[in-house]
């Protein structure tokens, strides 16, 4: 079965540079979530989108922005990168029409290293 | 306040022994509960989920968890540990507001 696809899988950027991560949800999933997992940390919720509109916002820095496009894929844009932004970034998706509780499925993650 | 707590950041068990990973939540209404496993340098894989149906939930790889409302717990168990079970386990909660909140995680070590 198709899963959540994230690209790139690995990314190395220098401080103050910009990075863009892409996420392709499972087909027919209408909700996308972004999480950040620092080294040895639990995943922290950043932001989510439902039907191309922002649905919830967590601990996402102002330097970061995200959007969901008409084909439901999402991009996370990170500017003025700092060393502390080095982390594993997960995208996840769910189908809001799936019933009382829609399981959230995670991608393999994108490793961002800021040097 | 709504929260999820995993007791023990590291748990070590011998191969073949019982695995018990603890998870408690704090919420005014029963949330939806999940256990995810993360192998080194990999993504998050769903082990099992509780969505207000049966309180005893069976998942993949022989794991199961029991929802106990009176104890606000959702502990993960496996009767017999295998070396391949070594990983990070996250209890996660949906407080019925769409997103998932993760516990701090428990690293499971399997001793030969």
Residue matched to tokens 């386990």: B89
Please give the pLDDT value at position A13: 97
A1 close to B (CB below 8 A): no
Determine the Cα–Cα distance for residues A71 and A28; give it in Å rounded to an integer.
Answer: 10
Q: Which residues pair with B91 in a beta bridge?
A: B35
Contact A101 B90 (CB under 8 A): no
Q: What's the 3-state SS for chain B?
A: CCEEEEECCEEEEECCCCEEEEEEEECCCCCEEEEEEECCCCCEEEEEEECCCCCEEECHHHCEEEEECCCCEEEEEECCCCHHHCEEEEEEEECCCCCCEECCCEEEEEEC
Q: Calculate mean pLDDT across residues A56-76.
A: 94
Amino acid B12: pLDDT: 97
What is the average pLDDT score of chain A? 91
Q: Please judge whether B103 and A56 are an interchain contact, meaning their C-beta atoms are less than 8 angstroms apart.
A: no
Percent of all residues in chain B with a pLDDT value above 70, rounded to a whole number: 98
> Which of chain B's residues have a Cβ under 8 Å away from the Cβ of A97?
none
Q: Is B1 on the interface with A (CB under 8 A)?
A: no
Question: Reduced to 3 states, what is the DSSP secondary structure of residue A103?
Answer: coil
The per-residue pLDDT for A1 is: 64
Q: Which of A55, A90, A107 is the closest to B98 by Cβ?
A: A55
CB-based contact, B36 to chain A, within 8 Å: yes
Chain B residues touching residue A43 (CB < 8 angstroms) = 44, 90, 102
- In the numeric block, which tokens belong to residue A61? 């820095």
Query: Could you tell me the two tokens for A75?
Result: 């991009």
Q: Which residues of A55-94 are buried (b: 16+ CB within 10 A; e: fewer)?
A: beeeebeeebebebeeebbbbbebeebeeebbbbbbbbbb
What pLDDT band is residue A61 in, cutting at 50, 70 and 90? very high
Closest CB from B34, B51, B104 relative to A42: B104
Lowest mean pLDDT among A96-110, B13-27, B71-85: A96-110
Q: Across the interface, do B99 and A90 touch by the CB < 8 Å criterion?
A: no
pLDDT at position B99: 79
Q: What is the mean pLDDT of chain B?
A: 91
pLDDT at B97 over 80: no
pLDDT for A100 beyond 50: no
């Amino acid at each position: 079965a198709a899963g959540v696809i994230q690209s790139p899988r690995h990314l190395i950027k220098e401080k103050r540079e910009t990075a863009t991560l892409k996420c392709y949800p499972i087909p027919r999933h209408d909700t996308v979530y972004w999480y950040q997992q620092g080294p040895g940390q639990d995943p922290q919720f950043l932001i989510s989108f439902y039907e191309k509109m922002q649905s919830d916002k967590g601990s996402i820095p102002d330097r970061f922005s995200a959007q969901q496009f008409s084909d439901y894929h999402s991009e996370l844009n990170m500017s003025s990168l700092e060393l502390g932004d080095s982390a594993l970034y997960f995208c996840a998706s769910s189908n809001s029409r799936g019933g009382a509780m829609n399981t959230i499925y995670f991608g393999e993650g994108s490793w961002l290293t800021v040097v | 306040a709504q929260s999820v707590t995993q007791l023990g950041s590291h748990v070590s068990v011998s191969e073949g022994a019982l695995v018990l990973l603890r998870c408690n939540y704090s919420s005014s209404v029963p949330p939806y509960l999940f256990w995810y496993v993360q192998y080194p340098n990999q993504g998050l894989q769903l082990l099992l989920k509780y969505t207000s149906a049966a309180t005893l939930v069976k998942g993949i790889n022989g794991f199961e968890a029991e929802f106990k409302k009176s104890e606000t717990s959702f502990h993960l168990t496996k009767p017999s540990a295998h070396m391949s079970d070594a990983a990070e386990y996250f209890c996660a909660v949906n407080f019925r507001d769409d997103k998932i909140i993760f516990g701090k995680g428990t690293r499971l070590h399997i001793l030969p």
